[in-house]
C-alpha cells in the first residue's frame, strides 16, 4: 500500500471514529442510563513534546460560530460538547475574531487537563509579544502549551522570524518567562502553512506543523441541533 493510500485510510477511519463519538453522545440524550458509553478517540504523541493527545483537536476558525461575532452561545455549546467528548487539544489564533474570547470563557475550569495552542501572524519580536499578551488575557490563562507562527508563506518570512529582531526572540523570551511550555529542541514551535515549498525548511529546523480539523466544529454543532442540514 502506498503512503498516500495509508494516510487517506487513516484519515477516513479517524473521521469515522470521531463521527461515531458525536453520534453516540447525541443518541444517549434520548436513551436510558444503560446505553453504551461513547467510543474513545485514539491518541498519539504530539511531535516531540511527549504529550499524548486525542488525534483530533478543536480549531477555532473556519465557517463555524467559534470565529463569528455575536455567536457566543453557539460557540460555548460547541466547546462544551467537545470537552464532554474528550477533546483536549484546542487551537485558536489572535486573528480568529472572537475565538480566543469564547474559549477563554469555557476552558479555564478544565485548563490543567488541556493542551491549548494559539498563533501569531506577526513576524517581528515586538508585534508577536503584543499578540501573546492579548491572547493570554483573552484566553484567561497564564500560559500557552503551544504558540504557533501563523500562515507562513515564504522562505523570506522564515528568515525574518529568525532575524535578530524576529518573532523567534519573543518565543524564546516567553519560554524563559514560562508563558509558553514548549520550544525547540522539544520540537513544538508550531508553524502553520499551506505552502509545500517551506516544509523542507521547517523539517530541517526541527519545527512542528499542526492543523486541527476545524470541520469538526460543524459536526459538533449538528449533533447539538438534530436535523440540521
The set of catalytic residues is 96
Residue closest to 171 by CA, chosen among 205, 131, 210:
131
Q: Report yes or no: 121 and 94 within 8 Å, Cβ to Cβ.
A: yes
Q: What angle do CA 202, 206, 207 make, to 5 degrees?
A: 60
C-alpha cell, 165: 529582531
Spatial separation of the C-alpha atoms in residues 202 and 81, rounded to whole Å:
34
CA 135 from chain centre, in angstroms, equals 14
Q: Which residues of 36-61 are buried (b: 16+ CB within 10 A; e: fewer)?
A: eebbebeeeebbebebebbbbbbbbb
Amino acid at each position: 500500500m502506498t503512503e498516500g493510500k495509508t494516510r487517506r485510510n487513516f484519515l477516513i477511519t479517524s473521521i469515522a471514529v470521531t463521527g461515531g463519538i458525536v453520534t453516540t453522545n447525541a443518541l444517549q440524550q434520548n436513551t436510558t442510563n444503560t446505553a453504551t458509553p461513547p467510543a474513545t478517540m485514539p491518541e498519539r504523541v504530539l511531535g516531540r513534546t511527549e504529550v499524548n493527545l486525542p488525534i483530533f483537536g478543536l480549531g477555532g476558525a473556519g465557517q463555524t460560530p467559534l470565529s463569528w461575532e455575536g455567536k457566543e452561545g453557539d460557540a460555548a455549546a460547541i466547546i462544551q460538547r467537545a470537552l464532554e467528548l474528550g477533546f483536549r487539544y484546542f487551537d485558536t489564533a489572535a486573528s480568529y475574531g472572537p475565538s480566543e474570547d469564547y474559549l477563554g470563557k469555557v476552558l479555564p475550569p478544565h485548563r490543567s487537563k488541556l493542551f491549548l495552542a494559539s498563533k501569531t501572524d506577526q513576524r517581528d519580536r515586538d508585534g508577536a509579544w503584543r499578540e501573546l499578551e492579548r491572547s493570554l488575557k483573552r484566553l484567561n490563562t497564564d500560559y500557552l502549551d503551544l504558540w504557533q507562527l501563523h500562515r507562513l508563506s515564504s522562505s523570506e518570512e522564515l528568515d525574518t522570524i529568525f532575524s535578530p529582531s524576529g518573532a523567534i526572540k519573543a518565543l524564546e523570551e516567553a519560554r524563559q518567562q514560562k508563558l509558553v511550555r514548549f520550544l525547540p529542541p522539544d520540537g513544538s514551535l508550531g508553524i502553520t502553512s499551506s505552502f509545500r515549498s517551506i516544509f523542507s525548511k521547517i523539517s530541517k529546523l526541527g519545527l512542528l506543523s499542526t492543523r486541527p480539523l476545524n470541520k469538526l466544529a460543524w459536526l459538533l454543532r449538528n449533533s447539538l441541533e438534530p436535523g440540521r442540514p
